[in-house]
């Protein structure tokens, strides 16, 4: 599930093609943005891609449409790769909490939106990215893996964003590969 450019979805698709992720089908890609890069990446890869309309966790109709739209594909794992909406408790329970999220900071620091900018403004010298299980509290579920990124004096906010994204493109496919091999819990 994603709302944005889809570079992390592309990294997952590439990892499957190269064999890093094995024994694992990407059954569908779902977005709340009709013309998002993530849907385009899925289309180019020949993976079913579905625009499920807007999603607001407090809206029961949105929730039901999203849950039923995804359940048709019978996923064992849901990956939030840049999905910029908060999920309802009902949604999380509907998928038996088998949902992981990619977040662009070293949690528990800098939860929520614009995490790289938050880290930059705080002046930290190490930031990074996290993959964690999704729980009802935002960006607070059990951490699965993290990758650090150093912030150098020569960096700009843009260069830090690029470094964090590069780290994400390595971390997320590796975590999916581990989960699919049954190593993570």
Q: Given the rule CB under 6 A, which residues bind ligand GAR?
A: 2, 4-8, 38, 81-82, 102-104, 115, 165, 168
Closest contact distance (angstroms) between CB of 169 and ligand GAR is: 8
Taking the CA atoms of 140, 181, 8 and 75 in sequence, report the sign of the dihedral they define: negative
Specify the residue, 32 or 168, whose C-beta has the smaller distance to ligand GAR: 168
Residue nearest to ligand GAR as judged by C-beta position = 82
Sequence-separated (6 or more) residues with CB below 8 Å from residue 142: 132, 133, 135
Q: Could you say which of 57, 103, 132, 169 is catalytic? A: 103
Closest contact distance (angstroms) between CB of 74 and ligand GAR is: 24
Closest contact distance (angstroms) between CB of 82 and ligand GAR is: 3
Specify the residue, 6 or 141, whose C-beta has the smaller distance to ligand GAR: 6
Catalytic site residue 103? yes
Closest contact distance (angstroms) between CB of 86 and ligand GAR is: 9
Specify the residue, 94 or 147, whose C-beta has the smaller distance to ligand GAR: 147
- Cα 129 to Cα 116: distance, rounded to the nearest angstrom: 9
Give the C-alpha distances (Å, rounded to integers) separating 160 from 9, 102, 151, 154, 164: 20, 17, 7, 10, 6
Specify the residue, 100 or 177, whose C-beta has the smaller distance to ligand GAR: 100
- Cα 54 to Cα 172: distance, rounded to the nearest angstrom: 25
Q: And the tokens for 157?
A: 């906010």
Neighbours of 118 (CB within 10 A): 17
Positions annotated as catalytic residues are 103
């Amino acid at each position: 599930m994603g709302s944005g450019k889809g570079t992390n979805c592309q990294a997952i698709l590439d990892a499957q093609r190269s064999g890093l992720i094995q024994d694992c089908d990407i059954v569908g890609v779902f977005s709340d943005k009709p013309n998002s890069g993530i849907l385009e990446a899925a289309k180019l890869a020949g993976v079913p891609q579905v625009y499920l309309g807007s999603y607001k966790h407090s809206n029961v109709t949105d929730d039901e449409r999203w849950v039923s739209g995804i359940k048709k594909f019978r996923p064992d794992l849901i990956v939030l790769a840049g999905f910029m909406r908060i999920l309802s408790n009902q949604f999380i329970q509907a998928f038996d909490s088998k949902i992981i999220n990619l977040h662009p900071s070293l949690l528990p620091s800098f939860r929520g939106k614009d995490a790289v900018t938050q880290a930059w403004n705080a002046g930290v010298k190490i930031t990074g990215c996290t993959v964690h299980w999704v729980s009802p509290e935002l960006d607070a579920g059990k951490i699965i893996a993290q990758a650090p990124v150093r912030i150098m004096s020569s960096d700009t906010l843009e260069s830090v964003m690029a470094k964090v994204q590069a780290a994400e493109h390595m971390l997320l496919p590796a975590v999916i590969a581990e989960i699919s091999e049954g190593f993570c819990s």
